[in-house]
Chains A and B, each alone.
Chain A
């Protein structure tokens, strides 16, 4: 028996080896294509202005001039601070609202629970373009256009986040909940002392997911923050990159700096990124 399989594998090994080699070349080439643009941006942002498009892969001159001009002559630091502030608030609110709601859906019973949950799920399907105009009119009426609250509140809860935590809470044995109840603990203290600590990986995934989605948010913030002083990074970069007479040095420097927090977070929290974006999408 083993002799038979051996010969089978032996005859296939030749072609398998060939194909495997081609596949590997393809994979490595793809990796170069994926990294190339990032490297090009980083390197170009360090080249003197007249050398940016000189076609060299290795910079002949090196300068931090573009970064200095970015900080001194544009509102980059303002955009960055706006983005950091807005995203911090969005993440905290998402954590609170999603974990509370998920607990409610998993461990409490009330009329209409399944219906409300289904309605929340439907909202994942809704494209932003349907939301854009009425959201603007509505926020205008509420006085939230051109305010930080307007940039934060509409994004402070997400159905994907609730779903993510619901899954996690469901995997926690009901017996823990029962035992705590017998000891006389209230729902709130069970939630805080039992469920939250046990759901830490899911909470981390939610943080990462919320961060990636909102750090790059463009269409709705574009409508909500008409006032330049409220511009977040994507808004600032968009206006910077579409003005007449682009200054490539500072522009590429700004793109690189805007992406840096994402890259750094990704390096350290890779598994949460992969879990968050695939799970978030799969469940949605």
Chain B
């Protein structure tokens, strides 16, 4: 208790008077050790190892590996199948602004339900239900809905629309997956925006209203700018999420069909590794995807910084 080491004054983030020196290291190891071991074994080591593997011609099941340098990377860059599957993943990014925009609309709309808290809570729960439902379950449900005689065509038909072959038509399969994604993910943006809207000082709105600003003006000129950080955050999170586009194509379109119209790059990586056993090539592509995610995050953060006052 009375022992105060000189080091304690520097770099202290949490005040901690009751610390006995000497036993600290052992104690700390006992507390954070288990988690650190798990992270080291199953995150840190594999990540570094991916880089190592990606520089080899590496058979995933055999012991065969041969150094090829950046060979796998140049191979990816000149592989049309890699580019076309990457194109499908980028196509899938269309869902990102839509799910964020609709989420904002729902969150903002819910604030007008302030006088009926029960209705508000009920609606919020309903919008959130698809978020917690797993991708596989969502894909199975939508596989049924998108059948020629499924729920979606039934609704379109009752409005007088045509019967569409959502999962068999090359030009409709991606829009169908995007539609499903918006349905599943919009509730997440809604909840995040709801929390952010609550944090806005109501006096700002009152002051603007007294000055004669319309609802739209308040929304456009006050709320949207104040929500900018939240919006950037949602863009980063949703883009990373969209980059993982895999289970949807695996189940909904039976592995990227029809005729590879919905074949995402993650499925290509998976098949190269576990169908063709080419772990080196698959690792190189995985690292390229990682670089894309990093640069997207970097760009969004720059935009965020620039907009800060």
Interface residues of A (CB under 8 A from B): 5, 8, 12, 15-16, 19-20, 23-24, 26-28, 30-31, 33-38, 40-41, 44, 53-55, 96-98, 100-101, 103-111, 113-114, 116, 119-120, 123, 125-138, 153-154, 156-157, 159, 162, 170, 174, 177-178, 181-182, 187-188, 191, 212, 215-219, 223, 233-234, 237-238, 241-242, 246, 248, 251-252, 254-255, 258-259, 262-263, 266, 270, 273-274, 277-278, 281-282, 284
Contact A131 B47 (CB under 8 A): yes
Knowing that A34-B129, A37-B141 are A-B contacts, what are 13 other residue pairs whose CB atoms are under 8 Å apart, sorted by A's residue number? A20-B112, A27-B113, A40-B144, A101-B31, A101-B34, A109-B19, A120-B39, A216-B134, A216-B136, A241-B251, A242-B251, A242-B254, A258-B134
Whole-angstrom distance from the CB of B86 to the nearest CB of chain A?
12
Whole-angstrom distance from the CB of B35 to the nearest CB of chain A?
4
Decide: A259 near B144, CB < 8 A? Known: A23-B112, A108-B24, A129-B244.
Answer: no
Contact B136 A40 (CB under 8 A): no
Chain B residue nearest to A154 (CB atoms) is: B42
- The verdict on B273 contacting chain A, using a C-beta distance below 8 Å, is yes
Contact A109 B144 (CB under 8 A): no
Give the CA-CA distance A238 to B283 in the complex, in Å: 24
- The verdict on B140 contacting chain A, using a C-beta distance below 8 Å, is yes
Of the listed stretches B76-84, B92-100, B285-293, chain A binds B285-293
Which residue of the partner chain, among B132, B246, B255, B290, contacts A262 with CB atoms under 8 Å?
A: B132
**Subset of 11 A-B contacts with CB under 8 Å:** A27-B109, A28-B123, A55-B154, A101-B36, A104-B32, A107-B16, A125-B297, A127-B243, A133-B283, A137-B60, A218-B135
The interface bits of chain B over 101-117 (1 if a CB of A lies within 8 angstroms of the residue's CB, else 0) are: 00001100110110000
Decide: A38 near B141, CB < 8 A? Known: A114-B11, A130-B286, A277-B191.
Answer: yes
Interface size on B, residues (CB 8 A): 106
Interface residues of B (CB under 8 A from A): 1, 8, 11-19, 24-25, 27-28, 30-32, 34-36, 38-39, 41-47, 49-50, 53, 60, 105-106, 109-110, 112-113, 121, 123-137, 139-145, 147, 149-151, 154, 157, 183, 187-188, 191-192, 195, 209-210, 212, 214-215, 233, 237, 240, 243-244, 246-247, 250-251, 254-255, 266, 269-270, 273-274, 279, 282-283, 286-287, 289-290, 293-294, 297
